[in-house]
A and B are shown apart, each in its own frame.
Chain A
Amino acid sequence: SQQGEEDPQALSIQEGENATMNCSYKTSINNLQWYRQNSGRGLVHLILIRSNEREKHSGRLRVTLDTSKKSSSLLITASRAADTASYFCATVGVNTGTASKLTFGTGTRLQVTL
């Protein structure tokens, strides 16, 4: 199955700065989702953007989607130390049924320092 690529693989910023992570995928999608994972823990769903949407906001998060380039970006504004985690994009392909499989990207490890 296809797997998205994320870049950068690792990102280190200072508190208050913005963090941008990018995700590219290979096949047509129904929607794209972003998740956060703290070390050794499960996943927390952050935001879902559908294929007919171009931008979505949720609090300090901004997600864009460019289906022509098969890419998405996640922007975290005014980062906090608590944002330190791994971030994954995951896509749901078209024609995959009622409860659809997620295909995860490689992830970006974000470190926010004080």
Chain B
Amino acid sequence: GAVVSQHPSRVICKSGTSVKIECRSLDFQATTMFWYRQFPKQSLMLMATSNEGSKATYEQGVEKDKFLINHASLTLSTLTVTSAHPEDSSFYICSASGLAGGILYEQYFGPGTRLTVT
């Protein structure tokens, strides 16, 4: 099946700094990528949808200036958490959907990135 990677898997940063998380589709072209946030023992909440070459569409309540998403190529999307605060500590998961997926609507998920802001 299709493989999606995320880097880094874990990151600890100080309050006020910015952190970039990468999401890569390794063996297919991802026309659309999704970014989710998951708090402990809770469900995944969609943050934004990004299409290659265009601006991301953010869900209600998600600050676009704080969570910068770039989908510059068909295999890479990045999420930058700017001026991170402890309340941004969470598990961030990306998923990718593309032509090589085969089944319409199927998303392939990355392994997630654990962000801890101290």
Interface residue ranges, B against A (CB under 8 Å): 6, 31-32, 34, 41-46, 49, 51, 59-60, 91, 93, 95, 97-98, 103-112, 114
Contacts and interface: CB of A to CB of B under 8 A. Distances in A.
Contact of A100 (B43, B60, B105): B105
8 contacts: A30-B105, A35-B109, A42-B110, A43-B95, A45-B106, A98-B32, A103-B46, A104-B43
A71 interface: no
B105 A42 contact: no
A20 interface: no
User: Which of B32, B45, B59, B105 lies at the interface centre, i.e. has the most chain A CB atoms within 10 A of its CB?
Assistant: B105
Interface of A: 1, 3, 30-31, 35, 40-45, 48, 88, 92, 98-107, 109
A91 B60 CA distance: 18
Contacts of B31: 98-99
Given A3-B43, A42-B93, A88-B43, A102 B112 contact: no
Contacts of A3: 43
A43 B1 CA distance: 13
B43 A101 contact: no
Contacts of A109: 41
B105 A43 contact: no
A1 B45 CA distance: 10
Chain A CB within 10 Å, residue with most, of B91, B109, B112? B109
Contacts of B110: 42
